Chains A and B, each alone.
Chain A
Amino acid sequence: NAGVTQTPKFRVLKTGQSMTLLCAQDMNHEYMYWYRQDPGMGLRLIHYSVGEGTTAKGEVPDGYNVSRLKKQNFLLGLESAAPSQTSVYFCASSPWTSQGETQYFGPGTRLLVL
C-alpha cells in the first residue's frame, strides 16, 4: 500500500493563477481531509469529506474549493491564488471505527504564491 499520496510535491504560482492539488489514498478510507500548515500555527483544517460525493468546510475554507468524486481521491482547488495561500498543504485520510478516528497524512505539497 502506498498510503496517502499527494501531487505535486512543490509548486510556484503567480497571484491570480489557479491550480488543483490531488490527494489519493489506497486504504479504502471513508474520511479525507485537507490541512494547511504555517509556521507557528500548527495544522488548520481547510475542508473535509466524510464520503464519496460529500464535502464540508473546516476552520479556514475561504479561497479554496474541494471535490470528492471518487472515494480514493480528494481534490483541493485554488481558483485565484493569493500570497496568503503560500503554505504547506497536507492531505489526510481516516477509517471509521467505533472508538473514534485516527488520521494518516500524506507527505505534503509546498506551495509558493508570488
Chain B
Amino acid sequence: GQQLNQSPQSMFIQEGEDVSMNCTSSSIFNTWLWYKQDPGEGPVLLIALYKAGELTSNGRLTAQFGITRKDSFLNISASIPSDVGIYFCAGLSASGYALNFGKGTSLLVTP
C-alpha cells in the first residue's frame, strides 16, 4: 500500500493547549479520514474529508484536506484529558477500496 507519513509520533501536552498533527503521502488520495483509538478499543471515525481544500469541523476538532491531495491536517483546540489516545490518518486512493493508514500520533494530555 501507499506510504503515509504521520507526525508527530507522540505529543505530551497540558490541558487547554491546542494540538496539531499532519499526514503526508507520496501519492494522491481522493478521501482523507481521521480516526481516534482509545486503549483497548477499535478506531473510531472522527472526520472524513472528500474534496481538496475542504475544511471540516467536529466540535473542537478541525481537519483539512490539502490542496495538493497529498496531505491532511488535524487540529484539536483546548485539549481535555479525554482527548488522550492514538490518532490515525487514513487515505483512500481512487484505484482501491482499502484505506492506507498512518502509523499514528499518540497524544497524552495532563491536567
Contacts and interface: CB of A to CB of B under 8 A. Distances in A.
Nearest to B4: A42
Interface string B1-32: 10000100000000000000000000000110
Interface string A73-105: 000000000000000001010000001111111
Interface size class of A (residues with CB under 8 A): 20 to 34
B90 to A, nearest CB: 8
Contacts of A33: 98
Interface in B83-111: 88, 90, 92, 97-99, 101-104
Interface size class of B (residues with CB under 8 A): 20 to 34
Contacts of A43: 43, 88, 101
Interface stretch (B44-52, B55-63, B71-79): B44-52
Contacts of A42: 6, 88, 101-104
A45 B99 contact: yes
Given A45-B98, A90-B43, A101 B1 contact: no
Contact of B92 (A4, A48, A101, A106): A101
Contacts of B1: 44-45, 58-59
Given A31-B97, A33-B98, A48-B98, A101 B45 contact: no
A99 B31 contact: yes
A101 B48 CA distance: 9
B13 to A, nearest CB: 21
Contacts of A92: 42
7 contacts: A43-B43, A45-B98, A58-B98, A90-B42, A100-B92, A103-B90, A103-B99
Interface of B: 1, 6, 30-31, 33, 35, 40-45, 48, 50, 88, 90, 92, 97-99, 101-104
Given A33-B98, A100-B48, A104-B45, 11 more contacts: A42-B6, A43-B101, A92-B42, A99-B31, A100-B30, A101-B92, A103-B45, A105-B43, A108-B40, A108-B41, A108-B42
